[in-house]
Amino acid sequence: MSLVELHAIHKSFGAVQVLKGIDLKIDEGQVIALIGRSGSGKSTLLRTINGLETIDDGTIMVAGKKVGDHDTDLLDLRLNVGMVFQQFNLFPHYTALENVMLSPQVVKKQSKAEARAIAEEMLTKVGLADKMTHYPDQLSGGQQQRVAIARALAMKPRVLLCDEVTSALDPELVNEVLAVVRQLAEEGMTLVMVTHEMRFAREVCDTLVFMHHGRIHEKGAPEAVFANPKTPELANFVGGLAG
């Protein structure tokens, strides 16, 4: 059984149908990139996986459990599914260390010492051992995003969702964040990312999912997808990137 199984996911915002029947299985250790044009539904799809978007129809299974829309189900789900956002979303009134410690303490009821040890470990892992007592507004965008990754990892999720994690960064700060994501992929973390960094997706992911008009249009290994697009839409998308 796959770690995440999406079946026939439908979602509309008002009259606009954003997801028109998505089937997707994500195995443990798999690294998937969702690619496609703006408005193709890739971010919405990502957000359904941890219940930030409700779905109109279909089923979501995570770690063998069906996700309902009861609060307790969602909390269970989110223990398994971490998320990193485009805008970092660090809590401004807490230091980097406190941002990472908070949820292990209040959600998992870990002792302060335990939470602190994990937080220090995770911040060291993302290269921010020397920034633990800094507040978010004292950090660069790249550093903030790495704190956000550490914060998600401290909950020990089984899958990490990355929603355009470098899109809000200045170009010179993109690589430090991608390096951390790459490291996670190499360590075997299950990753689902929405990204516009095609070169990175190609190098790091084992599966590319091309979304178009709310459907999975094509899916496959990065080399195949880029070298031999089977549909004109993907050829067009890939060609547009090269040009």
Partner 1 sequence: MAYQFDFGSILPHWKLLLDGVVLTTELAAVGAVAGVGLGILGAWARSSRIPVISQIVAVYVELIRNTPFLVQLFFIFFGLPALGVKLSEFQAAALAMVINLGAYSTEIVRAGIQAIPQGQIEAAQSLAMNRVQIFRYIVIRPALKKIWPALSSQVVIVMLGSSVCSQIAAEELTFAANYIQGMNFRAFEVYFVTTGMYLVMSIVLRQILKIFGNFLFERRHHA
Binding site for partner 1 (CB under 8 A): 50-52, 71, 74-75, 78-79, 81-83, 85, 87, 89-93, 95, 102-103, 106-107, 131, 133-135, 138, 148, 151-152, 155
**From the CB of 122, what's the least distance to partner 1, in Å?**
13
**From the CB of 130, what's the least distance to partner 1, in Å?**
10
Nearer to partner 1, 86 or 183 (CB): 86
The token pair at 157 is 């999720």
Nearer to partner 1, 91 or 231 (CB): 91
Helices (H) and strands (E) in the chain, counts: 9, 10
> Strand, helix or coil at 238?
helix
Crossing angle between the packed helical segments 112-125 and 141-153, to the nearest 10 degrees = 130
**From the CB of 219, what's the least distance to partner 1, in Å?**
25
The token pair at 148 is 């956000």
Helix (H) or strand (E) holding 28, with range, is: none
**From the CB of 50, what's the least distance to partner 1, in Å?**
6
Q: How far apart are CA 30 and CA 25, in angstroms?
A: 10
Q: How far is CA 196 from the centre of its chain?
A: 13
